[in-house]
Amino acid sequence: MAAGSRQDNRLVITIRPEPSDDGRLQVREAFRQVLDTLELFEQAQRSLGDPHASFVWRLEKASTASPFTIIAVAEPVDPAIDVTPQVSRVKAEVADGVRNLIAHGRRPAWLERESLPIVRELFSRNLNGIATTEIDFEVPTLAPLSINRNQASAGLRAVEAINPIDAVDIPERVAHGEIEGQFVAVGHYRGRPAIQIRTILYAMVWCVLNDALVARWGGEHKLSEVWEGKTIGVSGQIHYLSGGRLNRIDAVEIREISAPPFDLDAVLDPDFTAGLDPVEYLEKLHEGDLA
């Protein structure tokens, strides 16, 4: 396996203070700005799925001298996996998504509705104490992103103007039932064994496995052998976030859904029209002339 370079997986976030603050940042605000910026990358990563290319951002270097600079590097959860292509995709999603949000008011597909307050705060800090938030993607094909006062104002207006239907006030809830989908991957959800299914209504969904299911089906390899590519039904506790978005399923049962073979010859009736031409049969049927 050809591993990507550490440079390719690096991210540099720089927070610059307002000149009126004598080059000094509020510690709390500076750290919150970095954390909220990283949350954007983590959301983009989750939206892309692919648990086999999971990675975490590790702190490589921090400079507390003004400007406040954090250098983070993406390290794979599985050291044997080269996550560089996935990291590049995540960077591109964030770069394009934030720029389109500021310039055109379009919410990125990966940005969850529940996280709009985080983006609002990120832009708001750039209007109160932080002069610019700079993101260097460390990728030649991606220009660094610099959010200054003007861009923050545009971004804040975009967030506030997003269609209210995007934030329908539906509370979080837990239901009991079954969700059908195609088995696509095995991995972990917040450290717990899980499978991922692709559904029609909710796209990718993580299904956390209880101890009984793990004991029955075994490890990741065994699960993939049994279920991969199949349509399955996962029943258990279905967790919805506010707004009606499906968050996860705490699975208690998994079943294969297979359509029975369909024998067309068994339902064909050559005498159905009593020897009439189909068109003639339909005309007589509509006119009520059939005996």
What is the CATH topology of the domain spanning 173-256?
OB fold (Dihydrolipoamide Acetyltransferase, E2P) (2.40.50)
3-state secondary structure of 159: helix
User: What pLDDT is recorded for position 290?
Assistant: 62
Residues of the chain with CATH 2.40.50.140: 173-256
Q: Quote the DSSP letter at residue 53.
A: G
**Measured distance CA(35)–CA(54) in Å, rounded:** 19
**Measured distance CA(6)–CA(14) in Å, rounded:** 19
CB half-sphere exposure, 252, CA atoms < 13 A: 7
Average pLDDT over residues 263-271: 57
251 or 264, which is more confident?
251
Q: Residue 275: left if φ>0, alpha if ψ -120 to 50, beta else—which one?
A: left
Q: Are strands 55-63 and 68-76 parallel, antiparallel or unpaired?
A: antiparallel
Neighbours of 5 (CB within 10 A): 9
236 or 7, which is more confident?
236
* pLDDT > 80? residue 133: yes
The helix (run of H) or strand (run of E) holding residue 61 is strand 55-63
User: What pLDDT is recorded for position 165?
Assistant: 46
pLDDT tens for 75-124 read: 998 888 899 999 999 999 999 999 999 999 988 988 887 788 889 889 98
Q: Quote the DSSP letter at residue 140.
A: T
Looking at 51-55, 234-238, 278-282, which range is the least confident one? 278-282
Q: Which residues on neighbouring strands pair with residue 204, listed in sequence order?
A: 198
